[in-house]
């Protein structure tokens, strides 16, 4: 079953320095149809102005995955971690029993990113942070696993949730079929381009909730970048 969450149907926020679209309902005033999917509870499409960002703030008992689409993100946290994450790169943060961090745009262009929140399998634990580049060549024509809490996903960044983050790049006319493990669902977003999923048109920055499906067939109508979370 596919449920299309079109760009124009997403809740939005504009704080001047931050413009955001929410693929999932973030408060009681949001779209009630955009409910969580398994452990996936937040997927924000954020644009952060040059020189702006989130000041030091805290999280606990949450797995936070950030996928940078454009620009440069600077991360600092109370573990002493400092990182610069660029377009096409991913960072993961396990908040565990508690961590404080700050994120800012230190580049010369607007910073565009996906921030994805996942419920952990267990509460507590030591907080941790990690980042790693994933060259586009490794995901061309297929979904590559970038972060995962499932066994057997190779050198993917580790998270403590029953979920995995995947990304794919397709050229015009390319097709791929992706199969799901039993009881797994997924949320797919078109970061760039236009595609069809099982014959249904999905436009730029639209999302698709995929439930009770053994597999999906994806066809690229133009050069497209896809990001997907598979969750249980």
8 A C-beta contact, residue 230 and residue 180: yes
What does the block give as tokens for 123? Answer: 């509460």
For residue 223, say whether it is annotated as part of any ligand binding site.
no
Residue 137 CA to residue 131 CA, distance in Å, equals: 18
Please tell me whether 4 is known to bind a ligand.
no
According to the annotation, is 59 in a ligand binding site?
yes
For residues 82-95, one letter each, b for 16 or more C-beta atoms within 10 angstroms of the residue's C-beta and e for the rest, the string is eeebebbbbbbbbb
Q: Does 22 belong to an annotated binding site?
A: no
Angstrom CA distances, 141 to 65, 136, 170, stand at: 23, 10, 5
Closest C-alpha to 76, from 48, 104, 41, 107: 104
Burial class (CB in 10 A: 0-12, 13-18, 19+), 110: middle
Whole-angstrom distance, CA of residue 80 vs CA of residue 104 = 16
How far apart CA 73 and CA 93 sit, in angstroms, is 14
* Binding residue positions: 57, 59, 101, 103
Binding residues for Fe cation: 57, 59, 101, 103
């Amino acid at each position: 079953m596919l449920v299309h969450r079109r760009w124009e149907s997403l809740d939005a926020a504009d704080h001047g320095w931050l413009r955001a679209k929410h693929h999932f309902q973030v408060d009681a005033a949001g779209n009630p149809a955009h409910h969580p999917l398994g452990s996936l509870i937040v997927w924000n499409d954020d644009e952060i102005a040059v020189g702006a960002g989130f000041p030091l703030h805290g999280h606990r008992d949450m797995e936070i995955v950030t996928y940078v689409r454009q620009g440069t993100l600077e991360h600092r946290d109370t573990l002493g971690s400092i990182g610069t994450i660029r377009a096409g790169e991913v960072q993961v943060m396990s908040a565990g029993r508690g961590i404080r961090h700050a994120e800012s745009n230190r580049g010369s262009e607007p910073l565009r990113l996906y921030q994805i929140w996942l419920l952990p399998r267990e509460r507590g634990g030591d907080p941790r942070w990690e980042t790693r580049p994933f060259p586009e060549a490794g995901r061309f024509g297929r979904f590559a696993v970038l972060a995962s809490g499932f066994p057997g996903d190779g050198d993917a960044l580790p998270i403590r949730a029953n979920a995995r983050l995947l990304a794919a790049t397709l050229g015009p006319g390319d097709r791929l079929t992706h199969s799901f493990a039993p009881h797994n669902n997924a949320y797919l977003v078109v970061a760039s381009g236009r595609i069809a999923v099982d014959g249904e048109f999905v436009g730029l920055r639209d999302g698709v909730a995929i439930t009770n499906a053994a597999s999906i067939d994806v066809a690229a109508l133009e050069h497209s970048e896809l990001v997907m979370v598979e969750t249980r």
